[in-house]
Amino acid sequence: MKKQGVLHGELSRFIATLGHGQTLVIADYGLPVPAQVPLVDLAVSRGVPSFLDVLDAVLSELSVEKITLAKELEREHPDLFDRIQQLAAAPRELIGHDVLKERLASAAVIVRTGEWTSYANIILKSSVVF
């Protein structure tokens, strides 16, 4: 039995099996999920769990080469944008929200949170630890 880190079995398995260059998406509740992409749905109720709580937990276990955010997030929710920068110490790419949604089709997994903040989505590109 795990006693720390990501305790959700399915999410922990996806993190453990990601290869270099594959992507994991942490999403707000409203982000559309392509039918062919596996979904780990953590949403319980509005705001539970929060985007930042899930991001913090995933980053404690995943080696990240690059993060991708919608540029709209910086404009609409600068406090959240700044907090993400503090948590994720990897190079950043800013793209339009529509482009971010197009990239979902190639994600290894999408993790839905209970986040109710628009544009609270991030693509985490897996790196290697050696």
33: exposed, middle or buried (C-beta count within 10 Å: 0-12, 13-18, 19+)?
middle
Examine residue 54 and state whether it is found in any structural domain, yes or no.
Answer: yes
Examine residue 12 and state whether it is found in any structural domain, yes or no.
Answer: no
Q: Which residues are catalytic?
A: 20
Query: The domain that contains 94 carries what CATH number?
Result: 3.40.1650.10
Examine residue 60 and state whether it is found in any structural domain, yes or no.
Answer: yes
pLDDT, residue 13, reads: 97
**Each residue's pLDDT tens digit, 29-65:** 999 999 999 999 999 999 999 999 999 999 999 999 9
User: What global pTM score does this model have?
Assistant: 0.96
Examine residue 8 and state whether it is found in any structural domain, yes or no.
Answer: no
* Domain containing residue 59: 20-126
Q: Which two tokens mark 46?
A: 């509005």
Q: Are 100 and 68 in contact, with CB atoms under 8 Å apart? A: yes
* The total number of structural domains that make up the chain: 1
**Each residue's pLDDT tens digit, 70-118:** 999 999 999 999 999 999 989 999 999 999 999 999 999 999 999 999 9
Cα distance between residue 28 and residue 121, in whole Å = 6
96: exposed, middle or buried (C-beta count within 10 Å: 0-12, 13-18, 19+)?
exposed
2 pLDDT higher than 90: no
